Amino acid sequence: MKKVRVFRYLLCVLVISFLFPTASARADVRSQSPETKTPIKHFLVLMQENHTFDNYFGTYPGAEGYPEGTCIPVDPFDKSNTECVEPFHIGDRPIEDLDHSDSTFNLQYNKGLMNGFVYALNQRNQNGALSMGYYDDRDLPYYWNLVDEYVLFDHFFSSDHGGSFANHMFWVSGQQGGSRVTGEGYDDIPTIFDRLQESGISWKFYVQNFDPEINYRTAHLISGNRASQVIWVPILNMARYLDDPELSSHIVDLNEYFTDLENGTLPAVAYIAPAGASEHPPGSIRSGQKFVKSLMQALMRSTSWDSSAFLVTYDDWGGWYDHVLPPQVDEHGYGMRVPAFLVSSYAKRGHIDSTVLDFTSIMKFVEENWNIEPLAERDGNANSFMSAFDFSAPPREPVFIPFERVVKEERVEPRRYVIYAAYGGALILGLLMFIWTAIGSDIRRKMSGYFRRRTQPEVPMP
Amino acid sequence: MINWRSWDRAIVARIIGIIIVTTVAVGLRVWGINQLGYNTDEAVYAGQAAAIAKAPILKDIFPIFRAHPLLFQFLLALVFAFGVSDLAGRLVAVAIGLATVYMTYRLGKLLYGVKAGLLAGLFLALMPYHVVVSRQVLLDGPLVFCTTLALFFLARYAMTQRPAWIYLTGVGMGLTFLAKETGIIMLGAIYAFLALSREIRVQIKHLFVSALLMALMILPFPISLLLAGGTRSGKNYLVWQLFRRANHPWDFYPSTVPEAIGFLVIIVGILGLWFLRNEKSWRERILLCWILVPATFFQIWPTKGFQYMLPIAPPIAVLAGRAIARWWPEDFSIFSLRIRRSWVKTLTVLVIALSIFLSSVQIITPATTGMFVAGTGGVPGGREAGEWIRNNIPEGATLMTIGPSMANILQFYGYRRAYGLSVSPNPLRRNPSYPPILNPDMQIRNGDIQYVVWDSYSAERSTFFSEGVLRFAKRYHGRVIHTQSVKVTLADGTVVDKPVIVIYEVRP
């Protein structure tokens, strides 16, 4: 009898799964949560563009920011020229896209002296002094508010000396890829997504304003900035991610990020590439913050918050000054430090993490958390940012971080003691008046009678 | 050992009377007191009290200084210092309501004797108007206590001519102002009474001292505004109140207040004035001044509110009590049955008491129609929706509601900021306590507003803004994340769940 019941149940499940393939597929995504080493079941990473740590957080209290007396020579090769440029607040000054080629890196790096920042850009007919500009909480209120609550990494380096593409390649594959002839592609390079696919771990590449028609085969035909999609999404340079529907279906528009959160179908690993809001100079850093805010808020109000970690970082230094000498692990890098911060319900509160990290550390974390073999030497040797989490505590409740900077000390609290004293005093005064009027007369009468008796001579007992 | 037999029958009757009055007064005020959550005004006053008490999150949402002085909020803050609770807030209001019933008894006793006092206390204890207001965290409950206190002091002065009582009248008026600044109009009643009563002699110097004491009592209001940092909000509100448009038609009070006081109570009071006209003295004059001055003022004043007329309730109760206590009909016979006058009086009291008792029960029973009138009680579903928000929506989130009424409730229970779409960006057209949403589209696109709330109560009052809110929900990928329903009874008697509050999640 029991066997018949079990058989009927299985039959029902089979029929339902055939009748409702969509529901089944959705359930499939949800069930794809292989064992993780940590409570993090969803890891998301957003790659913004072109800023250094000092440029964004060089004055952030407690972080390794500008050293005292920083002044970068205008010409480090001319000993007689003592002119130098100190870091300055950019504010509303117009900025430009500073050159950030390999050769500029080498000049700025200057064999480890880190004193060629102004000079290198002057050599490119740009205003080299601009590289010494920085932003602070007046310009980056949201990011500063975020890192007040979560984790800021102050030794996070770009993986490559060069610009966007090489660093994006490190981001997904742990290797640079090298420069190739247009149209050749990078199909031979394995990526973290191949590993995830093989292991049955759900993943997606969310792309803002995604155009599926733009890939390495067509990019040269596209005019304007839209062709940059193949830089931001390096796997669009790999034939298998274009031709295999099983793989290409994972590259989706950013809108799906929001619907996935709403439906509870967020994949285990998600890479996010921006479009207009990447903060690439001279783009608006305020727009970038609003973009990040929308992503954070969507995550925080979803059911995935309790099991997610969201890392925001920047693909390269963009020509800006950074004072920390990047360790050289091979001929490609590291490049300069870049801003990076982690938001998670398990992230330590207001923590500054100084572990030496780079983009391959992202892969390292994924590999550690989901127990995947490293892809390349770089990610195999990279440090992970596990130290940024506190898994001993329960997940933190989500808190929408305000967009404007609120400095706690500056908040003017009303003087409450005045209210207590004034109104309390009025009530006490009224009460005393009442007692004096209503009862006081009786007391006075009794007291006067008492004193009268006291002053009268005692009458001797008969 | 108490020797019961030695007790005067009159004392026993008085004690029984006091027990009855106290029992019905307490019973009607606490029965189902917390069935519904706060309405918008309650949420505002309780929010202010929480801000004074430095309650976490609420102190950042609710400003301490809004429109009115803070006497009641200060008292609430003393309770909220041990934890913010809507029930505790309402129990404070009930305690003040019971004190008002007691003062009405004392006033009636002072003017017309114990029986009149007990009957006045009974009528106020049962009166729907006072019952419904004293169950809520509103300023009008403390206000009417203070006005009755001042009236009592003035009557004592009229009776004794002792200057101390006119001084205390000044103190009472000061407290009245601190409870709610509109209470200042009772000065007109005092002036009218003293001007019309030649037999009550008052010296200018006594009046001066009394005025001085009143000013001293009022001082906490400007002092706290100046020293605690709220001058601007006070000035703005005064300007707005002076120039705001009428919010109700002219017949609002005639159509609501007599019913809330009780038609029979009013009729008996008027009949008493007529039939006992031979006994007329300053006693009736003081009561009539206390009724007619505020009634005339609020009838003329464009801004109307259900509870504004409440100060007239105690003197009306005293007049009704006096009518029955002092009215002595002769015994008479019907079909050879001798009807005693005491039976007639008892029956009259029972009929009046029963009529207002039933009205009170009806008015404090939560509405089952899904509608509500401001000032008459809580808002069904408001507290539950707010608590859902507190438990399910991230801290720091901001909501957009149809109007500020629902925004206040959701802020108090939800611990999240909420703004009303209907609040006008024109400073001349809005209550300065409410910040407007200057550009809702931009604020949603920037992620500054993340949730949109529609509610049937506000939608009933403003279809325009109701449609506006729904339009934003549709435009910005609105997704219903919570629906708060209440049980309502349809015309055919069927009970159904009616959605009254719908919360949408929106995103750019």
Chain A residue closest in CA terms to B447: A294
The pLDDT score that the predictor gives to residue A25 is 39
The closest CB to that of A262, out of B165, B178, B479, belongs to: B479
The closest CB to that of B224, out of A400, A418, A434, belongs to: A418
Q: What is the pLDDT of residues A254-274, one digit of tens each?
A: 999 999 999 999 999 999 999
- The mean pLDDT value for B396-414 works out to 95
- The mean pLDDT value for B148-171 works out to 94
The span from the CA of A449 to the CA of B463, in Å, is 75
Looking up tokens 């803004």 gives B465
The span from the CA of B485 to the CA of B505, in Å, is 18
The pLDDT score that the predictor gives to residue A304 is 94
The pLDDT score that the predictor gives to residue A5 is 54
The span from the CA of A8 to the CA of A5, in Å, is 5
Distance, first Cα to last Cα, chain A: 114
Beta bridge partners of A205: A251, A271
The pLDDT score that the predictor gives to residue A451 is 67
The closest CB to that of A422, out of B224, B395, B508, belongs to: B224
- The mean pLDDT value for A219-236 works out to 87
Residue B283 to chain A, least CA–CA distance (Å): 21
The span from the CA of B451 to the CA of B62, in Å, is 19
CB contact under 8 A, B171 and A400: no
CB contact under 8 A, B64 and A437: no
Residue A86 to chain B, least CA–CA distance (Å): 35
Higher pLDDT, B476 or B6: B476
Q: How confident is the model at residue B127 (pLDDT cuts 50, 70, 90)?
A: very high
Q: Angle between the B71-80 and B163-179 helix axes, to the nearest 10 degrees?
A: 70
Residues of A contacting chain B (CB within 8 angstroms): 258, 262, 290, 293-294, 297-298, 300-301, 397-403, 412, 414-416, 418-420, 422-427, 429-430, 433-434, 436-437
Chain A residue closest in CA terms to B72: A423
- B329, B272 Cβ separation under 8 angstroms: no
Q: What is the pLDDT of residues A355-375, one digit of tens each?
A: 999 999 999 999 999 999 998
The pLDDT score that the predictor gives to residue B132 is 93
Give A-chain residues touching B398 at CB under 8 angstroms.
400
- B48, B67 Cβ separation under 8 angstroms: no
Query: Within 10 A of A421 (CB to CB), how many other CB atoms are there?
Result: 16
Query: Within 10 A of B462 (CB to CB), how many other CB atoms are there?
Result: 16
Rounded to two decimals, the ipTM of the complex is 0.86
B382-505: CATH number: 3.40.50
Residue A95 to chain B, least CA–CA distance (Å): 24
The span from the CA of A122 to the CA of A447, in Å, is 98
Token output for A121: 């850009």
Residue A385 in 3-state DSSP? coil
Residue B413 above 60 pLDDT?
A: yes
- B298, B253 Cβ separation under 8 angstroms: yes
Token output for A105: 């890196």
- A272, A282 Cβ separation under 8 angstroms: no
Residue B261 to chain A, least CA–CA distance (Å): 30
Q: How confident is the model at residue B232 (pLDDT cuts 50, 70, 90)?
A: low
The span from the CA of A83 to the CA of A73, in Å, is 6
The closest CB to that of A414, out of B172, B228, B507, belongs to: B228
CB contact under 8 A, B447 and A290: yes
Beta bridge partners of A341: A152, A312
Give B-chain residues touching A297 at CB under 8 angstroms.
394, 447, 450, 507
Using CB atoms within 10 A of its CB, is residue A7 exposed (0-12), middle (13-18) or buried (19+)? exposed
Chain B residue closest in CA terms to A287: B446
Global pTM reads 0.83
The span from the CA of B500 to the CA of B386, in Å, is 13
- Nearest-CA neighbor of B137 among B73, B50, B67? B73
Going from N- to C-terminal start, the domains of chain A cover 1-31, 37-57+117-410, 417-443
Does the CA dihedral B340-B345-B346-B348 come out positive or negative?
positive
The total number of residues shown for chain A amounts to 462
Q: What is the pLDDT of residues A397-408, one digit of tens each?
A: 999 999 988 766
Give A-chain residues touching B172 at CB under 8 angstroms.
430
Q: Give the count of Cβ contacts less than 8 A between chain A and B.
A: 110
- The mean pLDDT value for B460-487 works out to 93
Residue A12 above 50 pLDDT?
A: no
In chain B, which residues fall in CATH 3.40.50? 382-505
Residues of B contacting chain A (CB within 8 angstroms): 52, 54, 64-65, 70-71, 74, 77, 162, 164-165, 167-168, 171-172, 174-175, 178, 213, 216-217, 219-220, 223-224, 227-230, 393-398, 446-448, 450, 477, 479, 505, 507-508
The span from the CA of A287 to the CA of B508, in Å, is 13
Amino acid at A312: V
- The mean pLDDT value for B139-160 works out to 95
Interface test with B, best of A209, A419, A439 (most B CBs within 10 A): A419
Higher pLDDT, A434 or A390: A390
CATH 3.40.720.10 holds for A37-57+117-410: yes
Residue A3 above 60 pLDDT?
A: no
Residue A204 above 90 pLDDT?
A: yes
The pLDDT score that the predictor gives to residue B430 is 74
Chain A residue closest in CA terms to B217: A426
Query: B141: alpha, beta or left, given left = phi > 0 and alpha = psi -120 to 50?
Result: alpha
The span from the CA of A401 to the CA of A397, in Å, is 12
What is the overall mean pLDDT for chain B?
89
The closest CB to that of B508, out of A294, A300, A416, belongs to: A294
- B292, B311 Cβ separation under 8 angstroms: no
Q: How confident is the model at residue B432 (pLDDT cuts 50, 70, 90)?
A: confident
- B186, B290 Cβ separation under 8 angstroms: yes
- Nearest-CA neighbor of B96 among B139, B58, B59? B139
- DSSP class of residue B331 equals P
Q: Where are the alpha helices (DSSP H) in A51-131?
A: 53-57, 102-109, 117-123
The pLDDT score that the predictor gives to residue A24 is 38
Residue B164 to chain A, least CA–CA distance (Å): 6
Token output for B417: 């900021």
- B116, B276 Cβ separation under 8 angstroms: no
Give B-chain residues touching A437 at CB under 8 angstroms.
162, 164-165, 167-168
The closest CB to that of A415, out of B229, B393, B450, belongs to: B229
Query: A33: alpha, beta or left, given left = phi > 0 and alpha = psi -120 to 50?
Result: beta
Q: What is the pLDDT of residues A397-443, one digit of tens each?
A: 999 999 988 766 555 677 888 889 999 999 999 899 888 887 776 67
Between A21-25, A455-459, B149-153, B203-207, the lowest mean confidence (pLDDT) is in A21-25
Give A-chain residues touching B505 at CB under 8 angstroms.
262, 301
- Nearest-CA neighbor of B253 among B290, B302, B318? B302
Give B-chain residues touching A401 at CB under 8 angstroms.
396
Residue B366 above 80 pLDDT?
A: no
Looking at mean pLDDT, say which of A31-45, B197-211, B418-432 comes out highest.
B197-211
Interface test with B, best of A145, A399, A433 (most B CBs within 10 A): A433
DSSP characters over B210-275: HHHHHHHHHTHHHHHHHHHT-HHHHHHHHHHHHHPPPSS-TTHHHHHHHHHH-HHHHHHHHHHHHH
Query: Within 10 A of A35 (CB to CB), how many other CB atoms are there?
Result: 7
